[in-house]
Structure 1
Amino acid sequence: MKTTDAIRSRRAVKHFDASHSMTEEEVNEFLSLAVLSPTAFNIQNWRYVVVTDQELRTQIREVSWDQAQVTDASLFIVLCADLKSWEKQPDRYWINAPKEVQEFMLPAIDDYYRGKDQVQRDEAMRSCGISAQTLMLTAKSMGYDSCPMDGFDFEKVAELIHLPDDHVIAMFVAIGKGTKEPWPRPGQLELDEVIIKNRFA
C-alpha cells in the first residue's frame, strides 16, 4: 500500500476479531519498524510494553472504561517513554558516528536535558506520538486496523505494568483485524482554518 493511501484510509477502529492471532514475525515487523521512528538526539526514549498476558489485559481493560480493544486486539501495546534515557549511556546512541560528531553530540544531549523536567516530558510525548503513527500506518499497510487510546486511568495502568519511576505512559496502541467499519469521518476542518502562514494575526 502506498503511504498516501495508508494515511487516507487509517481510522481509529474500535472492534477487533478477538480470535485472531499475529505471527511472531508480524509482531517483530511492527516493532522493528516502530523503532525507526525519529527521536531528538537519537535518544530512542520510547518503550513498548507488549501485553500478551490475557489476565493482565483484562485488568487493564477494567481501568480503561471497559474498552474492548484492550482485550480483543491482536497486538496491544502500552506505549511508554524513559524520561532519563538521555543520561543512560548516551554514547550508545552515537556509537557509529565519527569521533568528532560524538564529541559534539554527547555534551549537547546533557546540556539540553539536564535539570529540565518539562523538556524531558515534552520530548517523551513527541517521540511516542511519532512512533504511534508509525505503528498505525504500518498496521494499515499490512492489512490491519488500529486504535490510539488514552481513555484509561494512567496511575492504575502504571501500577499494573510495574512502570519504573523515571518512565511515563503516553498512550495505548491497539492493532488487529477490524470487525466493524468505523463511522464516516465526523468532520474535517478546512485547511484554511488550521494552516497559518508565517504568524498568527
Structure 2
Amino acid sequence: MSSTAITDFYAIIRERHSVKHYDAAHHLNEKEIIGLLEIASHAPSAWNLQHWRYLSIHSQAAKEKLLPIAYGQKQVVEASVVIAVLGDLEANRNAEDVFGSDVEAGLMTEDIKASLIDQINAAYGDSPAYAREEAIRNASLVAMQLMLAAKAKGLDSCPMGGFSADAFIEAFHIPSRYIPVMLIAIGKAAIPARASSRFPVGKTMVWNDFQKE
C-alpha cells in the first residue's frame, strides 16, 4: 500500500463526523447503495458468519414512515438513504454456506468444516444472550465500515440509536431472526457537522493491568 493511500485513509477517519442536516435534493441510486454495502460487508465477523442484514430505507414514503419511529429526527427524511443495520440472532445457520464454499475451494476439509460447525452450534446452543451479544457486536463492525465507506465516496453519515426498536420491527415487518442494531443516515451534508473533541489516548488506555493505573 502506498503512503498516499495510507494518508488518505487516515484523512477519511479524521474527517468522518456525524452529520445531522442533509441536502434533501441529493439522491443515491440502487447501484450506489449496493456498492457501499459491498464495501462494508468486508468487515470481519466471528467465524466469518457475517451476522448482519441490511434494510435500505430509500423511498421517501419509507423514510416518512420511519420519521416518528426515530423520534422526529429530520436526518431520516433528508438523507439520501437510511440503512438499518440488523444483527442476526441465528448466524450459526450461515455456517454451512460459509464453510461449504471453503471446502469447495480446497481451503479446508470436510472434517474441519464439521468440527467448526459443531463448535458454533455448541456456542449458540440454548443461549439467547450469547446470540444477541454476537449479533450486536458483529453488526456494529459492519456499521462502522459502512460509515467509512460512505466518507471515502465523498458522502456523509450519522449513526442513530435513538429509535423505538419495537415500533421499527412492527412497521417494517422485521423477522424475529433479526434485531435492529442501529440506523445509519447517508447523504450529502447541508450543514457541516459540529466539530467534536476526543479524549487523549492516555486518558482512555491502561497498560497491562488496571491495578497499575
| TM > 0.5 fold call | yes
Paired residue type of 1:131: V
In the TM superposition, residue 52 of structure 1 has moved relative to its aligned partner by 2.0
In the TM superposition, residue 142 of structure 1 has moved relative to its aligned partner by 0.4
Counterpart in 2 of 1:31? 37
**Take 1:14 and 1:181, find their aligned partners in 2: how far apart are those partners?**
8
Gaps of 5+ in 1: none
**Take 2:133 and 2:174, find their aligned partners in 1: how far apart are those partners?**
18
SS for the counterpart of 2:18 is coil
Counterpart in 1 of 2:202? 192
**Take 2:101 and 2:126, find their aligned partners in 1: how far apart are those partners?**
28
In the TM superposition, residue 53 of structure 1 has moved relative to its aligned partner by 3.0
With over 3 angstroms needed to count, the CA separation of the structure-2 counterparts of 1:190 and 1:89, relative to structure 1, is: closer
With over 3 angstroms needed to count, the CA separation of the structure-2 counterparts of 1:31 and 1:151, relative to structure 1, is: same
- 2:26 equivalent to 1:20: yes
Number of aligned residues:
199
What TM-score do you get using the length of structure 2 for normalisation? Answer: 0.88
In the TM superposition, residue 89 of structure 1 has moved relative to its aligned partner by 5.2
Counterpart in 2 of 1:64? 70
Greater fraction helix? 2
Contact 1:56-1:160 within 8 A present in 2 as well: no
- 2:121 equivalent to 1:110: yes
- What are the within-5 Å matches in structure 2 for residues 29-178 of structure 1? 29-86=35-92, 88=93, 90-97=95-102, 98-99=108-109, 100-178=111-189
RMSD (Å), alpha carbons: 1.4
In the TM superposition, residue 133 of structure 1 has moved relative to its aligned partner by 0.7
Gaps of 5+ in 2: 103-107
In the TM superposition, residue 42 of structure 1 has moved relative to its aligned partner by 1.2
Of stretches 56-65 and 123-132 in structure 1, the one that deviates more from structure 2 is 56-65
What TM-score do you get using the length of structure 1 for normalisation? Answer: 0.94
**Take 2:156 and 2:62, find their aligned partners in 1: how far apart are those partners?**
22
In the TM superposition, residue 104 of structure 1 has moved relative to its aligned partner by 2.4
SS for the counterpart of 1:31 is helix
Identity %: 30
**Take 1:38 and 1:21, find their aligned partners in 2: how far apart are those partners?**
29
With over 3 angstroms needed to count, the CA separation of the structure-2 counterparts of 1:156 and 1:12, relative to structure 1, is: same
